[in-house]
């Protein structure tokens, strides 16, 4: 008879065998599900080899993709070139294009749901699509035709994939199909670029709030420059307060560090005697990149560079004889007006002693799985009412409207398509006359040796004031009386210095007769670029690449000696000697493996917060302009013996700095341990490329977001690496580019994280590490192309 112990062992073995079988089954089923998902997602990868029928073409077009996924499109006419450009962009970026037009048009909630309603309200209010429609009517017939050709190409791809397994997986996840593309969609995306680079209205809103809530001394110290506003403007702001706090979703506002670096060097300073050019625009870092790199060739043009998906042409890059790049001017191109509504009819507003009827536009917002929201946009003679577009208050006695250059009919696309074919500075500058919004710094180089610079855009001339505060909307004595004439915008050609550099810094001197802005970006990046350009002759292409990755922190060079003196004086017991030594030995480069940048950069953020954060609501603090510059100026003034009321309120400069230092060190130790030698800037500073769908579910973030990487640089270094307050570097150089004018058959680029938006593509995030390590790929426009994949677009 079998013993009880043997029976138990046998039952145990059977149970173990059953568990193993179940676990194995789960693994097999799970594996099959994963394989199924990969096959399902992978099935929508675009066709990049062989043939594709594109019936809108007049003749066949060849698309060669090189090893980094850059499409080289060769067509026999401009008509087919732009059709093919639309088709190819849609192949690689259709979901991004659709999301962009929906965001800018305020139709995102229709496919996303309730969480996108605030965004839709904002962009309906800012009226980008309405401005695009007006701009379209003002365009010449040639540009309209190009927009039509481009739309035909996009729609050829949409028609090819809609209703099939080839439609990109993002549409399937959200449960909708893209609608037909129109020229207005392309122009609306262009208006969104102006929005992202032109967000100066928040400065006036903040100053209006500050005028109501701070003393004269506090307010004066918050202004970058002494305001020259008329007494009547100040009185109007005080007498007609508009609610600011709690009214605006600051998560939807442009990043204060949007901008970039660009410079050109003449042949006098280069090894080969020809100019060099470098450009790296700074914007949000995302998956996919906001830029798409292309090479376009027809009998009429041969141009290469990047463009915003959804738009034809090449915005930044080069052709066979010229090269160009941009940074943001940062001009005051948005003004707020204090509007007084009629108590009997809130759609009427006081103007020169009478009630004037505003335009009321019905903008119903469709919401996925929800009811349509009845929404209205009220537009005065100055522009749309932007107060209370999210958290509305009824019966307001005063509200803000906005006047903005981008809401007028403008023709930037005509400028782009024209300068793509330019052959010299005169032709290029002539084309720039059509580039009205956003205001940009263009740098230029030519194979004939010319280097040049011009600020472009409609920059207002004000009847009164300097754009520091909102102005009364009830009087014709305020407002704009035109724009700075094109021929009087800042311009430089072939300077004696042998170089031109811009980094959103101040570009004018006291003698310039027009107002551009009082809120220039910090000058640290510009000063470092100039320092490097002036320190060497016989410059080469590699030197330009090295400057783009430069991580020297001139802010630390300026402030750290005084800060260290304070820390040493206050640390009587030598508690922080190892940290002091680390800072003293720091060579001032924000390298990812160094510990000192972790201390210094977090300390400066803590000092800034200690000065201002508790003095105002969180959303108002988010809108506060030039916090970095104000912090630096207040520290410098205090160390020179002239502390202001903000520093005194914080206990004086020594107390402010040392208490901020102790808080910073406590936080660092809690996160990274007490061993100072193991602290690294890259442990906190992580390069982040977030996909727009990754916030929906954790598994999507894991699947769609490229892995985060430790990275050097900061918000003041030439290699801009702007983190969000939690160590996520989500803002910086979205494209890097350098070109040697001795040989414009090629140029060097980096578009991170990659060319394709398809997660299964090998070009999805293959350039993310290139961003970290400063690597580039060569893109040719003539000679034997580095073609890896050839796709024939057949006309029949």
pLDDT score at 398:
94
Please check the confidence at residue 33 and state whether its pLDDT lies above 50.
no
Question: Measured between alpha carbons, how far is 691 from 481 in angstroms, rounded to an integer?
Answer: 43
Question: Could you read off the pLDDT of 759-774 as tens digits, one per residue?
Answer: 999 999 999 999 999 9
Question: Could you read off the pLDDT of 517-547 as tens digits, one per residue?
Answer: 989 999 999 999 999 999 999 999 999 999 9
> Is the Cα dihedral 32, 701, 731, 386 positive or negative?
positive
Tokens of 9: 């062992």
The DSSP bridge pattern shows strands 787-794 and 50-53 to be parallel
* Biggest CA-to-CA distance, the chain: 111
Asked if residue 308 lies in contact with residue 314, where contact means CB atoms within 8 angstroms, the answer is no
DSSP 403: E
DSSP letters along 204-229, please?
HHHHHHHHHHS-HHHHHHH-SS----
Mean per-residue pLDDT, 641-652: 96
- Any idea where the domains of the chain sit in the sequence? 1-42, 50-193, 554-588+595-679
Tokens of 345: 């009819």
Least confident among 216-225, 458-467, 564-573, 586-595: 216-225
Give the residue from 496, 419, 489, 403 showing the smallest Cα distance to 200.
Answer: 403
Residue, of 488 and 25, whose pLDDT is higher: 488
Q: Residue 4: pLDDT band by 50, 70, 90 thresholds?
A: low
pLDDT score at 34:
41
Tokens of 20: 């193993």
Question: Measured between alpha carbons, how far is 198 from 739 in angstroms, rounded to an integer?
Answer: 28
Question: Measured between alpha carbons, how far is 533 from 498 in angstroms, rounded to an integer?
Answer: 9
Q: Residue 227: pLDDT band by 50, 70, 90 thresholds?
A: low
| DSSP β-bridge partners for residue 763 | none
Question: Measured between alpha carbons, how far is 687 from 786 in angstroms, rounded to an integer?
Answer: 30
Mean per-residue pLDDT, 294-311: 98
Question: If you search the block for the tokens 């924000």, which residue do you land on?
Answer: 590
Neighbours of 583 (CB within 10 A): 20
The separation between CA 672 and the C-alpha centre of its own chain, rounded to angstroms, equals: 31
Give the residue from 772, 559, 555 showing the smallest Cα distance to 685.
Answer: 772
The DSSP bridge pattern shows strands 71-74 and 292-298 to be parallel
Question: Measured between alpha carbons, how far is 459 from 38 in angstroms, rounded to an integer?
Answer: 51
Asked if residue 262 lies in contact with residue 502, where contact means CB atoms within 8 angstroms, the answer is yes
Least confident among 80-94, 490-504, 686-700: 686-700
Give the residue from 98, 130, 124 showing the smallest Cα distance to 111.
Answer: 98
CATH node for 50-193: 1.10.439.10
pLDDT score at 225:
64
Q: Residue 699: pLDDT band by 50, 70, 90 thresholds?
A: confident
Known binding residues for Ca(2+): 332, 335
Please check the confidence at residue 374 and state whether its pLDDT lies above 90.
yes
> Is the Cα dihedral 16, 20, 22, 23 positive or negative?
positive
Question: Measured between alpha carbons, how far is 761 from 92 in angstroms, rounded to an integer?
Answer: 10
Question: Could you read off the pLDDT of 460-474 as tens digits, one per residue?
Answer: 999 998 899 999 999
Please check the confidence at residue 9 and state whether its pLDDT lies above 70.
no
Tokens of 242: 């508009």
Question: Could you read off the pLDDT of 356-365 as tens digits, one per residue?
Answer: 999 999 999 9
- In sequence order, the 6+-apart residues with CB closer than 8 A to the CB of 595 are 582, 676, 677, 678, 679, 680, 681
Provide Rg for the chain, Cα atoms. Answer: 28
For the entire predicted model, the pTM comes to 0.93
| DSSP β-bridge partners for residue 365 | 373
Question: If you search the block for the tokens 């190409």, which residue do you land on?
Answer: 153
Question: Could you read off the pLDDT of 49-67 as tens digits, one per residue?
Answer: 999 999 999 999 999 999 9
Question: Measured between alpha carbons, how far is 71 from 523 in angstroms, rounded to an integer?
Answer: 37
Mean per-residue pLDDT, 232-258: 89
Question: Could you read off the pLDDT of 419-435 as tens digits, one per residue?
Answer: 999 999 999 999 999 99
Question: Could you read off the pLDDT of 199-223 as tens digits, one per residue?
Answer: 789 999 999 999 999 999 999 999 8
> Is the Cα dihedral 437, 443, 449, 450 positive or negative?
positive
User: How far, in Å, are 122, 187, 227 from residue 369 at the CA level?
Assistant: 21, 29, 50
The separation between CA 85 and the C-alpha centre of its own chain, rounded to angstroms, equals: 23
pLDDT score at 22:
57
pLDDT score at 15:
53
Mean per-residue pLDDT, 614-629: 96
pLDDT score at 32:
42
Tell me the average pLDDT of the chain.
93
Tokens of 450: 């010319």
Asked if residue 490 lies in contact with residue 442, where contact means CB atoms within 8 angstroms, the answer is no
Known binding residues: 332, 335
Please check the confidence at residue 21 and state whether its pLDDT lies above 80.
no
């Amino acid at each position: 008879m079998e013993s009880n112990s043997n029976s138990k062992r046998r039952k145990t073995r059977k149970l173990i065998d059953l568990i193993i079988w179940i676990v194995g089954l789960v693994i097999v089923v799970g594996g099959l599900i994963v394989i199924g998902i990969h096959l399902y997602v992978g099935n929508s990868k675009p066709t990049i080899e062989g043939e594709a029928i594109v019936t809108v073409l007049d003749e066949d077009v060849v698309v060669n993709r090189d090893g980094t996924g850059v499409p080289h499109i060769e067509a026999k006419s401009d008509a087919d070139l732009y059709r093919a450009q639309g088709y190819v962009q849609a192949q690689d970026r259709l979901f991004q294009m659709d999301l962009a037009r929906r965001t800018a048009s305020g139709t995102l909630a229709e496919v996303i749901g309730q969480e996108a309603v605030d965004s839709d309200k904002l962009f309906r209010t800012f009226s980008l699509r309405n401005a695009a429609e007006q701009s379209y009517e003002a365009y010449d017939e040639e540009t309209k035709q190009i927009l039509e050709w481009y739309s035909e190409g996009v729609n050829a791809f949409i028609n090819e994939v809609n209703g099939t397994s080839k439609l990109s997986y993002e549409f399937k996840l959200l449960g909708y199909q893209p609608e037909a593309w129109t020229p207005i969609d392309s122009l609306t995306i262009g208006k969104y670029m102006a929005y992202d680079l032109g967000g100066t209205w928040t400065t006036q809103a903040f100053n209006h709030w500050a005028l109501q809530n701070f003393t004269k001394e506090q307010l004066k110290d918050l202004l970058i420059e002494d305001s020259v506003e008329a007494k009547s403007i100040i009185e109007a702001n005080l007498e007609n307060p508009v609610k600011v706090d709690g009214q605006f979703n600051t998560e939807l506002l442009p990043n204060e560090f949007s901008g970039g670096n660009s410079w050109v060097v003449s042949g006098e300073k280069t090894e080969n005697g020809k100019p060099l050019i470098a450009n790296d625009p700074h914007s949000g870092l995302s998956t996919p990149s906001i830029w798409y790199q292309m090479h376009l060739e027809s009998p009429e043009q041969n141009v290469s560079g990047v463009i915003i998906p959804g738009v034809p042409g090449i915005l930044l890059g080069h052709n066979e004889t010229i090269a160009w790049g941009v940074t943001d001017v940062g001009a005051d191109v948005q003004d707020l007006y204090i509007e007084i509504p009629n108590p009997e009819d809130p759609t009427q507003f006081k103007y020169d002693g009478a009630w004037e009827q505003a335009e009321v536009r019905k903008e119903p917002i469709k919401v996925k799985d929800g009811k349509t929201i009845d929404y209205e946009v009220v537009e005065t003679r100055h522009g749309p009412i932007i107060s209370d577009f999210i958290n509305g208050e009824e019966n307001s006695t005063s509200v803000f409207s906005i006047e903005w250059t981008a809401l007028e009919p403008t023709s930037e696309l005509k400028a782009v398509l024209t300068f793509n074919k330019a052959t010299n500075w005169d032709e290029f500058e002539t084309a720039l006359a059509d580039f009205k919004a956003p205001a940009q710094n263009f740098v230029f180089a030519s194979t004939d040796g010319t280097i040049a610079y011009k600020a472009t855009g409609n920059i207002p001339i004000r009847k009164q004031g300097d754009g520091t505060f909102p102005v009364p909307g009830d009087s014709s004595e305020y407002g704009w009386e035109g724009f700075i004439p094109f021929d009087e915008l800042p311009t430089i050609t072939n300077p004696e210095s042998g170089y031109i550099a811009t980094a959103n810094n101040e570009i004018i001197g006291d003698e310039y007769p027009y107002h551009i802005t009082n809120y220039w970006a910090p000058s640290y990046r510009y000063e470092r670029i100039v320092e490097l350009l002036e320190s060497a002759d016989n410059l080469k292409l590699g030197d330009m690449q090295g400057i783009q990755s430069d991580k020297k922190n001139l802010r630390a060079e300026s402030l750290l000696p005084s800060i260290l003196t304070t820390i040493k004086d206050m640390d009587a017991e030598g508690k922080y000697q190892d940290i002091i030594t680390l800072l003293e030995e720091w060579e001032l480069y924000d390298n990812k493996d160094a510990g000192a940048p972790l201390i210094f950069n977090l300390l400066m953020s803590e000092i800034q917060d200690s000065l201002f954060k508790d003095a105002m609501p969180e959303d108002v603090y988010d809108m506060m302009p030039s916090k970095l510059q104000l912090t630096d100026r207040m520290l410098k003034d205090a160390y020179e013996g002239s502390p202001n009321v903000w520093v005194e309120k914080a206990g004086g400069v020594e107390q402010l700095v040392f208490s901020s230092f102790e808080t910073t060190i406590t936080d660092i130790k809690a996160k990274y341990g007490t061993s100072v030698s193991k602290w690294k800037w890259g442990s906190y500073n992580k390069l982040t490329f977030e996909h727009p769908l990754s916030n929906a579910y954790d598994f999507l973030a894991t699947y769609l977001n490229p892995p985060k990487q430790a990275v050097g640089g900061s918000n003041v270094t030439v290699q801009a690496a702007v983190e969000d307050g939690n160590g996520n570097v989500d803002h910086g150089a979205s494209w890097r580019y350098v070109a040697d004018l001795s040989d414009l058959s090629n140029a060097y680029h980096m578009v991170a994280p990659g060319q394709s938006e398809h997660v299964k593509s090998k070009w999805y995030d293959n350039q993310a590490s290139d961003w970290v390590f400063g690597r580039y790929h060569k893109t040719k426009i003539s000679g034997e192309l580095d073609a890896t994949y050839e796709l024939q677009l057949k006309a029949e």
